[in-house]
Amino acid sequence: MNKLHQSQSGLSWFYQRFLNNHITILLLNVFLFLLVVNEVVQNAGLLDPVWKFIGIAAPAIIVAGILYYVLDPLVHLLERRLHLKEGFAIAIAMVLTVAILVLVFLNLIPFLTKQTAGVIGSLPQFSNDVIQKLNHANQQHHWLTNDNLAEINRRVSTYFSKRGWNLLTGTLSSIGNVVTTVSDWVITLITAPLVLFFMLKDVSRFPHYLSKVVPTAYRGRFVTMLDQMNVKVSSYIRGQLTVALCVLIIFTTGYSIIGLKYALLLGVIAGPLNLIPYFGSAIALIPALIIGAITSPSMLLGVVIVYLIEWVLETQVLSPLIMGNSLEMHPITIVFVLLAAGKMFGLTGVILGVPGFAVLKVFVTTIFHWYQEYSALYPDVLPDEEALAQVPHLPTPKTKDSSD
């Protein structure tokens, strides 16, 4: 009898500790997930058509998505204030955007072209000025002897003479890549407006259609997750574009006031680079510092002062006022995200890494909260039925008559 009791108690202990243990089941699920990921990676060649399709469609979708977050408030304003129909309001918003872009480019491109040509034409003089300043500094401090300079000159000449043919062949071979890139941009410019129109028209119905594949019990939480993702991405994109425009104006105005050459070109460079958090303005400062140093010490000091004024305005006024803390991400987290995304995806990763990480954070947080509520490992966390009950009803798709 004791042996039977011991066997039952032993079986009960094994069952409770391993077979019916939540952590064991969680680890088993993680193992199965990693096994599936490994099989997908091992057979990645099967996904080549999918990656090719994504590579073709992604640029148009990204451009249309950015423009969607810019134009969506204008479309809603036209619908509410002027009582325009949805399709007509979208058409007006897109036409106004195209007209503004055309006017800006027609007035901006001639100045930028002139200043760019001036920079290219001044490069030989710039290089001569730099060499003269370095030689003057070397004569004063005796960093290098004449023999050292001659040796450096010889090595540089030998390097470029050896690499010249490779550079030429590489340039010729890259013509095909240039043609491919141009064709991709043409495809994007043609398809992006079409994608943008239907995004402005149908994106509000997207959660309704997508939630149909989600089990009924989780649809409220799923729609809430999509809404949180949309809020974070929209606030980030609109805020970053607004701050970038303000930075462009501040740099252009500041450089013009101190009399720095090519102020407009440097400002136009600084604006888009500011889309890279923390590093953008510092990168844009490099050409301004070079031009200022070559011009005069006082001009170099003026460039530094302009940058400090811009930095104070951006960090203490513009970013807190326009963006706030919408992403709820620590600055160190943003820095590591930028480094990792830039390493994996290049410039596109640097620009889109932060909003992409914000979307991923919302997804992971939602899954973790669901796991806390239903895993029984967190008894102090109960299902938030009240919050789920407050989820707004899913929007029903409009009929053709109501959307016209």
* Amino acid 252: pLDDT: 92
For residue 205, which amino acid is it?
R
- pLDDT tens, position by position, 286-301: 889 988 888 888 998 9
Q: Confidence class of residue 236 from pLDDT cuts 50, 70 and 90?
A: confident
Are the CB atoms for 308 and 337 separated by under 8 Å? no
The angle, 0 to 180 degrees and rounded to 10, between the axes of the packed helices 219-258 and 280-295 is 10
Residue 396 DSSP symbol: P
% of residues, the chain, pLDDT over 70: 71
* Amino acid 301: pLDDT: 92
- Is the pLDDT assigned to residue 191 strictly greater than 70? yes
Q: Confidence class of residue 141 from pLDDT cuts 50, 70 and 90?
A: low
Count of other CB atoms within 10 angstroms of residue 244: 21
Count of other CB atoms within 10 angstroms of residue 25: 13
* Amino acid 143: pLDDT: 61
* Amino acid 253: pLDDT: 93
Q: Coil, helix or strand for 8?
A: helix
Lowest mean pLDDT among 216-225, 306-315, 369-378: 369-378
Q: Confidence class of residue 4 from pLDDT cuts 50, 70 and 90?
A: very low
Question: What are the CA-CA distances from residue 111 to residues 13, 108, 262, 309 (Å)?
Answer: 80, 6, 10, 25
* Amino acid 302: pLDDT: 92
DSSP per-residue codes, 305-363: HHHHHHHHHIIIIIHHHHTTTTT---HHHHHHHHHHHHHHHHHHHHHHHHHHHHHHHHH
Look at 399 and 62; give whichever has higher pLDDT: 62
Phi/psi of residue 327, each to 5°? -80, -20
- Is the pLDDT assigned to residue 385 strictly greater than 60? no
- pLDDT tens, position by position, 52-105: 877 788 888 888 988 999 899 888 888 888 888 888 899 999 999 889 888 888
Residue 392 DSSP symbol: P
* Amino acid 386: pLDDT: 43
- Is the pLDDT assigned to residue 147 strictly greater than 80? no
Global confidence as pTM:
0.71
Phi/psi of residue 395, each to 5°? -70, 135
- Is the pLDDT assigned to residue 333 strictly greater than 50? yes
* Amino acid 248: pLDDT: 92
User: Alpha-carbon distance 351 to 272, whole Å?
Assistant: 10
Q: Coil, helix or strand for 351?
A: helix
Average pLDDT, the chain: 77
Q: Coil, helix or strand for 258?
A: helix
The dihedral formed by the CA atoms of 360, 362, 368 and 372, expressed in degrees to the nearest 10: 180
Q: Confidence class of residue 251 from pLDDT cuts 50, 70 and 90?
A: very high
User: Alpha-carbon distance 45 to 396, whole Å?
Assistant: 40
Helix (H) or strand (E) holding 130: helix 86-141
Residue 82 DSSP symbol: S
* Amino acid 306: pLDDT: 93
**What letters, b where the CB count within 10 A reaches 16 and e where it falls short, cover 300-316?**
bebbeebbeebeeebee
* Amino acid 402: pLDDT: 42
Phi/psi of residue 211, each to 5°? -70, -15
* Amino acid 223: pLDDT: 86
* Amino acid 137: pLDDT: 66
The angle, 0 to 180 degrees and rounded to 10, between the axes of the packed helices 219-258 and 263-273 is 160
